[in-house]
Amino acid sequence: MKKIAVVSFEGEMMCFLHALLNVWDYHEKGYEVALVMEGASTARILDIEKSPHKGLWQKIVEARLIKAVCKACAAQMGSLEKAEADGLPISAALSGHAPLEPYTNEGYEIILF
């Protein structure tokens, strides 16, 4: 099975939505998928549930496809408390950020958004 890690950095909703769409598409097609949220994309945790894309977000959360939310970036964007309250996996192993090496080590192809 092919492994894909989608790393979302951008904070614009449209860019974040494209990351989510691709995560779900890969998942539905049988890929092993990991969503890693870094940078400004962590701010979307605060408003995605109020957007028209709420259903897609909920499916991704329920399928446990979010594998890491960067602790440092979420703190900077003001979304860390919400991420923790929602039970999202927080990662800080790389100087406060989410490392990518574990994914490449496990054979994931990394796609950046």
Task: State pLDDT tens for residues 83-112.
Answer: 999 999 999 999 999 999 999 999 999 999
| Other C-beta atoms lying within 10 Å of the C-beta of residue 101 | 9
Bridge partners (DSSP) listed for residue 37: 8, 69
pLDDT in the model for residue 86: 97
Neighbours of 64 (CB within 10 A): 12
- Quick one: pLDDT at residue 12? 96
How far apart are the C-alpha atoms of 77 and 44, rounded to whole Å? 9
Spatial distance between the Cα atoms of 63 and 54, rounded to a whole number of angstroms: 14
pLDDT of residue 1: 85
**Helix boundaries (H) for the chain:** 13-28, 54-62, 71-77, 80-85, 101-105
Domain 3-112 has CATH 3.40.1260.10: yes
Average pLDDT value over all residues in the chain: 97
The per-residue pLDDT for 95 is: 96
The predicted structure's pLDDT at residue 68: 98
